[in-house]
Amino acid sequence: MIVSWNWLREYVAVDVSADEIARRLAMAGLNHEGTEPVGDDLAIDLEVTSNRPDWLSHLGVARELAVLLDRPLRIPDPRPAHAGGDEARGGGGAASVRVDVACPELCPRYSARVIRGARIGPSPDWMVRRLATLGLKSVNNVVDITNYVLFECGQPLHAFDFAKLRGSRILVREPHPGEQIVAIDHKPYALEPGMCVIADAERAVAVGGIMGGYDTEVAPETRDLLIEAAEFAPLPIRAAVRKLKLRSPSSDRFERGIDAERLDWASRRCCELILDLAGGAMDALRADVSMPRPPRAPITLRFAQIGRILGIEVAPAEARRILGALGCAECAECGASRADAPERITTVPPSWRRDLTREIDLIEEVARIHGYERIPEDAAVPMTPSHRGDRDRLVTRTRHAVRAAGFDEAVTASVVPEEWASAFPPWSAAEPLRCETPLVKGADRLRRSLLPSLLAARSGNESGGNTRIDLFEIARVYLPRAGELPAEPLLLGMCGGRGFRDMKGVIEGLVESLHAPAPVAREFRDPLFRAGTGCELRLGDDRFAFVGEVSLATRRRFGLRRPAVAAELDMDVLQRHVVLVPRHQPVILFPAIQQDLNFILGESVRWAELDETVRRSAGAWLEEVAYRETYRDPQADGPDRKRILLSITVRSREGTLTGDQAAAIRDRIVAAVSERHAGRLLT
């Protein structure tokens, strides 16, 4: 809302600078966006919160200022002269125009005055300048006056060329099917049921509350005017603005709600200015159709509640003064007896403050005007312990572990293009959820894996000429569930360029550092992974992670020139298996014996199987099985054979192991490997 400094001062005497006024208004809730000089005036840009439509006018801002400065507010008292006798209010049909409202839920009040014989011409300089400060171009005297009064008091007005209204008739109704209108911006608009149009005897002549029609607009030759001052319901206006992609200063105000009780003031003010500046004569009767409105309910403020909420005491007299200054009318007879007076005040808020309906609203008003700077910032805040949840601990430790492995943390969008959403679906077979509105262009699916996003990030990095691209992200994915909110497991995604075993080593190292059991690997096929490299890791019976080299097809799809390895871990599964506070185990001081075992085995024997056999057969003294290397010597061992070198570490709790004891363990392992895998120890 842009306020003209010169205009504002017409309503309240100000003896401080515009900067100081802007500061005072900001501290009352009208955020100061900036001040620009326009001619000899200042355009002060104020941000109006959605609860205060009353501030969308000069009088509204002046009213606030009058309270802040404790000065009187000077409001004009328009009394437009009319032809013959006292002005009379007619019902829908009593005036020179017949007004009917067919949809009172869309238009609770419609009033019209008719002025005949006006002369359309330029506006006076003072009005042109004031509108210019607000950034408005002068059109002609009558249109300018409707705009002027709108920005003066916040009530939108519209002037029709009365001669062009067929049948001297106004019908406020919903549009007919397929009805169209050309608005004063010369563009056609397709009207739909649920909207509100102003029609004459034959056709729509305005989109109610949003914009007038081109056919009936005031033109240079216009002589007779119909001045509309109406109230339109906020929600339908908002919907229509969205649908038509058409908004105006009028719709901005109807969307938030206008002060219907001061609607007639605006109409009189507008007509008075027209009679002054454009001449003509006003009909004695006006049309005014309105829905009955329940009286405003009084609100009681218990003074003790002020301190309970604000933490400071405000004297009842001060609270009473503030509410009075804001226009709240104390009502002694409704609710509060005289005996209660020291404890409470019962008031009816002014018509322009629809936002005030509850005690807490009045407390806020008292606080706002009394001043938030009076609330102390050094109260003794009581201490209380805070708890850190296991999930938070786990995520933090994981993040720092992966970071220590050399991965940089990425943050990618949760909503992805459809093709990404289908790229890696192992966590859920259900179709990805779709957003009605895309997050960014082309991205409307809620992701089920972080990996496509990380692959895309990797691709962007390759394009940027970066070479070491090791990225991770810890974020949720969204998996549909029938009958309840979607599951949102927290995943760790990793994508790097350092090789499969490096990536798997990071996962295993992470799991080990968190004292979870070693994950068990099994093959896993998915188009994301190069055939034969995909691997599923389990913790107990839980599917915990996937890791593999990114397949050529996937690399092509994401524009990746260089090889990559990707892995994804379920943090919720990990959490079920970790020990965040481990129990101390005494360190065994007896020496360990390490032995290397070099087996010749068939190609088909997997390490995981061999490892399991070694562990099972070694007995209780086994401390560690370490893989060393695989190599092949077809000439010595024959085809389809490989050699796996591993080393075992054995140690006893009871004493130093003898060479014979170590040899016995070794013999058991060799026998088991021979039996289960037809492996032979190379000696």
Partner 1 sequence: MALSQFLDALNALESSAVRAFGAAADEPALESARVEFLGAKSGQLKSVQKGLGALASADKPLAGKRFHEVKAAIEGAFQSAKDRLASLADEEASTDDGGPLDPTLPGTPFTLGRLHPITQTIEELTEIMGRLGFSLADGPEIEDEWHNFEALNIPFDHPARDPLDNFYVAAATLGEKPLLLRSQTSTVQIRVMEAAKPPIRVISLGRVYRPDEVDATHYPMFHQVEGLWVDRRVTMADLKSTLRLFATSYLGRDVHIRFRPSFFPFTEPSVEVDFQWGDGWVEFGGAGMVDPAVLTAVGYDAEEVTGFAFGLGIERLCMRRHQITDIRELFRNDVRFLRQF
Query: Under rule CB under 8 A, which residues in 278-317 are in contact with partner 1?
Result: 307-312
- For partner 1, the binding residues in 217-236 under the rule CB under 8 A are 234-235
Euclidean distance between CA atoms 495 and 566, whole angstroms: 4
CB of 424 to partner 1, least distance (A): 18
What binding mask, one character per residue, do residues 419-458 give for partner 1 by CB under 8 A, x or -? --------------xxxxx-xx-----x----------x-
Sequential DSSP letters for 174-221:
PPPTT-EEEBTTS-EEE--BTB-EEE-SSSEEEETTTEEBSTTS--TT
CB of 397 to partner 1, least distance (A): 12
CB of 576 to partner 1, least distance (A): 17
Tell me if 348 contacts partner 1 by CB under 8 A: no
CB of 199 to partner 1, least distance (A): 26
- For partner 1, the binding residues in 371-400 under the rule CB under 8 A are 372-373, 375-381, 383-389, 391-392, 396, 399-400
Tell me if 561 contacts partner 1 by CB under 8 A: no
Burial of residue 471, with CB atoms counted within 10 A of its CB: 0-12 exposed, 13-18 middle, 19 or more buried: buried
Q: Which residues contact 217 (CB under 8 A, 6 or more apart)?
A: 160, 161, 184
Q: Which residue has the tokens 């060329």?
A: 161
Interface stretch with partner 1, choices 24-32, 134-142, 261-269, 515-523 (CB under 8 A): 24-32
CB 676 within 8 A of CB 596: no
3-state SS, residue 590 = coil
Among candidate residues 443, 447, 449, 433, the one with its CA nearest the CA of residue 482: 433
Indicate the residue among 31 and 656 with the shorter CB distance to partner 1: 31
Indicate the residue among 192 and 488 with the shorter CB distance to partner 1: 488
Tell me if 245 contacts partner 1 by CB under 8 A: no
Q: How far is CA 117 from the centre of its chain?
A: 53
- For partner 1, the binding residues in 577-606 under the rule CB under 8 A are none
Indicate the residue among 380 and 620 with the shorter CB distance to partner 1: 380
Indicate the residue among 26 and 139 with the shorter CB distance to partner 1: 26
Euclidean distance between CA atoms 491 and 472, whole angstroms: 10
Tell me if 249 contacts partner 1 by CB under 8 A: no
CB of 4 to partner 1, least distance (A): 23
CB of 370 to partner 1, least distance (A): 11
Q: Positive or negative, the Cα torsion across 357, 360, 366, 368?
A: negative
* From candidates 116, 368, 641, 668, binder to partner 1 by CB under 8 A: 368
CB 130 within 8 A of CB 111: no
> Facing residues of 539 across strands?
542
CB of 19 to partner 1, least distance (A): 14
Tell me if 488 contacts partner 1 by CB under 8 A: yes
* From candidates 76, 92, 298, 480, binder to partner 1 by CB under 8 A: 480
CB of 562 to partner 1, least distance (A): 14
Size of the site for partner 1 (CB under 8 A): 89
Among candidate residues 495, 419, 504, the one with its CA nearest the CA of residue 455: 495
Indicate the residue among 64 and 283 with the shorter CB distance to partner 1: 64
Euclidean distance between CA atoms 395 and 575, whole angstroms: 9
Interface stretch with partner 1, choices 11-19, 25-33, 71-79, 97-105 (CB under 8 A): 25-33
CB of 447 to partner 1, least distance (A): 11
CB of 261 to partner 1, least distance (A): 21
Burial of residue 632, with CB atoms counted within 10 A of its CB: 0-12 exposed, 13-18 middle, 19 or more buried: middle
Euclidean distance between CA atoms 373 and 162, whole angstroms: 54
Euclidean distance between CA atoms 496 and 462, whole angstroms: 12
Indicate the residue among 391 and 525 with the shorter CB distance to partner 1: 391
* From candidates 164, 203, 223, 238, binder to partner 1 by CB under 8 A: 238
Tell me if 499 contacts partner 1 by CB under 8 A: no
Indicate the residue among 94 and 433 with the shorter CB distance to partner 1: 433
CB 211 within 8 A of CB 143: no
CB 503 within 8 A of CB 494: yes
* From candidates 52, 58, 130, 557, binder to partner 1 by CB under 8 A: 52
Indicate the residue among 389 and 659 with the shorter CB distance to partner 1: 389
- For partner 1, the binding residues in 399-418 under the rule CB under 8 A are 399-400, 402-415
Indicate the residue among 296 and 476 with the shorter CB distance to partner 1: 476
Euclidean distance between CA atoms 205 and 153, whole angstroms: 25
CB of 468 to partner 1, least distance (A): 7
Tell me if 29 contacts partner 1 by CB under 8 A: yes
CB of 387 to partner 1, least distance (A): 5
Question: In this structure, what token pair is assigned to residue 105?
Answer: 């839920």
- For partner 1, the binding residues in 454-473 under the rule CB under 8 A are 457, 460-461, 464, 466, 468-472
Tell me if 28 contacts partner 1 by CB under 8 A: yes
Tell me if 360 contacts partner 1 by CB under 8 A: yes
Question: In this structure, what token pair is assigned to residue 256?
Answer: 């938030």
Tell me if 559 contacts partner 1 by CB under 8 A: no
Q: Which residues contact 607 (CB under 8 A, 6 or more apart)?
A: 627, 644
Q: Which residues contact 429 (CB under 8 A, 6 or more apart)?
A: none
Among candidate residues 173, 187, 195, the one with its CA nearest the CA of residue 254: 195
In angstroms, what CA-CA distances link 653 with 291, 588, 621, 648? 92, 6, 8, 16
Indicate the residue among 368 and 538 with the shorter CB distance to partner 1: 368
Indicate the residue among 176 and 391 with the shorter CB distance to partner 1: 391
